[in-house]
């Protein structure tokens, strides 16, 4: 198959020049962590960790499939009001609160998504085995919701003051394509954005572009008895699936790669007829906007050719479209924004080991993506250790959420600029 030249160019492009030698700018210092109010807030996390674990379990056990986050949203709202904080619930369902700064600092926005991917009838009872908590949704992203609530309590209890406002948004519909975050950023300003999502230790400052499409093939259909030689949407779809998997991709592990998957196949109602409609979905992902567009076009053209060969009609429907943040070299400036190195330094201060040279990654698929593509200095940082997210065997390591929560406090103090002078 003839390939658009852009793919070839992407394949040949040299990796970014060797990692630069100058240190990246940071807003974190050890002295900052020694500011009495910061220290007190950190101690508050240690002193109340059992209560935090109990609340984390309570939140996990509230089913919250995307678009059905109401119970969690009501719980979070009640907790925030109990802390004496202002609460705004917008019309899509995001719950927002704000700690007012003393003035003159940036508005720092944290985002923690309320929703999970699990159907409402899923058993979300948490079982504890040693330090591990097991339940669908316990890791992604119930941990961040609990962490954010506890970080707020700790900052209030310690009297921690920052120059900038600290805004925490509990977003909805993250798993449906970051819809709650997009809705929020359409209506609210943010100088800095930190998404709380992912495994503890991750610092992502880019955005994986993700296109979800449904490829629909339609024809007139026919009884099997009269089907010979008739246009056949299933044959067109089958040919198209085979053909799109022949589109070459940059090798896995290349500086910029891409991946796609045919996930849902659908069509036909009866055994004894050519179906009138057959469809399949494509999930296409890469951080490179040009490669995303090129591959998308190649896939759509491939489907169009398969449809024409079978004399059926073809239409592509977008299910969701999240744009890509850029190739690593295009994101070099992003890496130099202090929000990234501050996040790395905070984790190291908290004793989290990060691989040298790969402390931060120019990718991401969280609420942070919405900030990245809008040009807002943005990172996504993790919540706890854990695994098997989006599955029934999802689990999380309880004690690691303590670090995830302290991370929020240190990021708030560093990025929203603690108002109290560090002790000399
Ligand atoms: Zn998540």
95-116 mean pLDDT: 97
Distance 171 CA to ligand 1 centre (A): 11
Q: Which residues contact 356 (CB under 8 A, 6 or more apart)?
A: none
What is residue 254's predicted lDDT score, i.e. its pLDDT? 80
Distance from Cα 369 to the centre of ligand 1, integer Å: 12
For the segment 360-397, what is each residue's pLDDT rounded down to a tens digit?
A: 998 898 999 999 999 999 999 999 999 998 999 999 99
The reported pLDDT for the residue numbered 136 is 96
Helix (H, G, I), strand (E, B) or coil at 95: strand
| pLDDT value for 375 | 93
Q: How far is the CA of 44 from the centre of ligand 1 (A)?
A: 26
Q: Quick: pLDDT tens for 117-133.
A: 999 999 999 999 999 99
Give 38-68 as a DSSP string.
Answer: HHHHHHHHHHTHHHHHHHHHHHHTS--BTT-
**190 CA to middle of ligand 1, Å?**
20
Give the distance (Å) from ligand 1 centre to CA of residue 141. Answer: 5
Question: What separation in Å is there between the alpha carbon of 168 and the centre of ligand 1?
Answer: 16
Decide which of 154 and 9 is more confident.
Answer: 154
Q: If you measure from the C-alpha of residue 381 to the centroid of ligand 1, how many angstroms do you get, rounded to a whole number?
A: 11
180 CA to centre of ligand 1 in angstroms: 13
pLDDT surpasses 50 at 6:
no
**223 CA to centre of ligand 1 in angstroms:** 46
Return mean pLDDT, the chain: 92
At 334, which helix (H) or strand (E)? helix 332-336
The residue-averaged pLDDT of 49-74 equals: 97
Average pLDDT over residues 335-353: 96
* Ligand 1 centroid distance, CA of 100 (Å): 27
If you measure from the C-alpha of residue 401 to the centroid of ligand 1, how many angstroms do you get, rounded to a whole number?
15
- Note the pLDDT of residue 82: 98
DSSP-based three-state secondary structure for 23: coil
Q: Which residues contact 89 (CB under 8 A, 6 or more apart)?
A: 73, 77, 95, 96
Q: Are 251 and 326 in contact (CB under 8 A)?
A: no
**What does the pLDDT average to over 296-323?**
96
> If you measure from the C-alpha of residue 409 to the centroid of ligand 1, how many angstroms do you get, rounded to a whole number?
20
Rounded to the nearest angstrom, the distance between the alpha carbon of 90 and the centre of ligand 1 is 20
- Which residues have C-beta within 8 Å of that of residue 357, sequence separation ≥ 6? 19
CA atoms of 328 and 340, how far apart (whole Å): 14
Alpha-carbon dihedral sign for residues 199, 365, 110, 332: positive
Give exposure, 160-169, as e/b (b: 16+ Cβ within 10 Å). bbbebbbbbb
Q: Cα of 199 to ligand 1 centre, how many Å?
A: 10
pLDDT for 333 equals: 87
Interval between CA 167 and ligand 1 midpoint (Å): 19
Taking the centre of ligand 1 as the mean of its atom positions, its distance from the CA of residue 137, in whole angstroms, is 9
Q: Mean pLDDT, to the nearest integer, of 388-411?
A: 96
Model pTM score: 0.87
How many angstroms does the Cα of residue 327 sit away from the middle of ligand 1?
Answer: 23
Residue 10 has pLDDT above 80, yes or no: no
Task: Report angle CA 304, 307, 309 to the nearest 5 degrees.
Answer: 110
Provide the percentage of residues in the chain whose pLDDT is more than 70: 94
- Ligand 1 center–CA 206 separation, angstroms: 16
183-194 pLDDT tens trace:
999 999 999 999
Specify the DSSP element, H or E, that contains 322. strand 313-322
- 11-24 pLDDT, tens digit each: 444 444 444 456 89
Question: From ligand 1's centre to the CA of 113, what distance in Å?
Answer: 7
What is the model's pLDDT at position 421? 58
Element (H, E) at 209: strand 209-218
pLDDT of residue 7: 43
Question: What average pLDDT score do residues 273-277 get?
Answer: 97
pLDDT of 29 higher than 80: yes
Model confidence over 287-297: pLDDT tens digits? 999 999 999 99
Distance 335 CA to ligand 1 centre (A): 22
Predicted pLDDT at 22: 65
- Convert the pLDDT of each residue in 212-245 to its tens digit: 999 999 999 999 999 999 999 999 999 999 999 9
43: pLDDT strictly greater than 50: yes
Is the pLDDT higher at 98 or at 422? 98
For every residue of 137-191, DSSP letters joined together read TIIIIIHHHHHHHHHHHHHHHHT--BSS-EEEEEES-GGGTSHHHHHHHHHS--S
Between these two residues, 424 and 376, which has the higher pLDDT value?
376
Q: How far is the CA of 365 from the centre of ligand 1 (A)?
A: 8
Q: What average pLDDT does the segment 95-108 reach?
A: 96
From the CA of 252, how far away is ligand 1's center (Å)? 24
């Amino acid at each position: 198959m003839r390939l658009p030249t852009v793919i070839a160019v992407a394949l040949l492009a040299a990796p970014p020049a060797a990692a630069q030698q100058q240190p990246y700018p940071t807003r974190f210092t050890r002295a900052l962590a020694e500011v009495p109010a910061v220290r007190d807030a950190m101690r508050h996390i240690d002193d109340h960790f059992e209560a935090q674990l109990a609340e984390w379990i309570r939140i996990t056990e509230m089913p919250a499939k995307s678009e059905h986050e109401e119970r969690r949203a009501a719980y979070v709202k009640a907790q925030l009001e109990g802390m004496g904080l202002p609460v705004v619930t917008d019309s899509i369902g995001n719950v927002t609160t704000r700690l007012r700064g003393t003035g003159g600092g940036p508005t720092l926005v944290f985002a923690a998504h309320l929703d999970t991917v699990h159907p409402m009838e899923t058993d979300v009872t948490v079982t504890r085995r040693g330090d591990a908590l097991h339940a669908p949704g316990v890791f992604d992203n119930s941990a961040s919701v609990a962490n954010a609530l506890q970080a707020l309590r700790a900052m209030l209890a310690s009297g921690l003051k920052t120059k900038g406002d600290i805004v925490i948004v509990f977003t909805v519909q993250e798993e449906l394509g970051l819809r709650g975050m997009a809705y929020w950023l359409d209506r609210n300003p943010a100088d800095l954005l930190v998404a709380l999502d992912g495994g503890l230790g991750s610092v992502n400052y880019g955005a994986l572009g993700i296109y979800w499409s449904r490829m629909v093939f339609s024809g007139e259909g026919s009884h099997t008895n009269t089907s010979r030689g008739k246009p056949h949407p299933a044959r067109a779809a089958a040919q198209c699936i085979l053909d799109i998997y022949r589109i070459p991709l940059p090798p896995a592990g290349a500086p910029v790669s891409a991946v796609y998957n045919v996930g849902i196949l659908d069509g036909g109602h009866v055994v004894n007829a050519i179906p009138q409609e057959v469809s399949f979905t494509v999930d296409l992902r890469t951080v490179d906007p040009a490669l995303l567009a090129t591959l998308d076009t190649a896939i759509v053209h491939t489907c169009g050719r398969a449809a024409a060969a079978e004399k059926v009609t073809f239409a592509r429907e977008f299910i969701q479209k999240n744009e890509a943040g850029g190739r690593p070299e295009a994101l070099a400036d992003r890496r130099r924004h202090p929000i990234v190195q501050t996040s790395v330094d905070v984790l190291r201060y908290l004793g989290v080991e990060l691989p040298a040279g790969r402390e931060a990654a120019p990718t991401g698929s969280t609420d942070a993506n919405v900030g990245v593509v809008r040009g807002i200095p943005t990172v996504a940082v993790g919540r706890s250790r854990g695994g098997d997210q989006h599955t029934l065997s999802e689990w999380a390591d309880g004690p690691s959420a303590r670090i995830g929560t302290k991370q929020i406090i240190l990021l708030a103090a560093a990025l929203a600029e603690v108002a109290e002078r560090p002790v000399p």
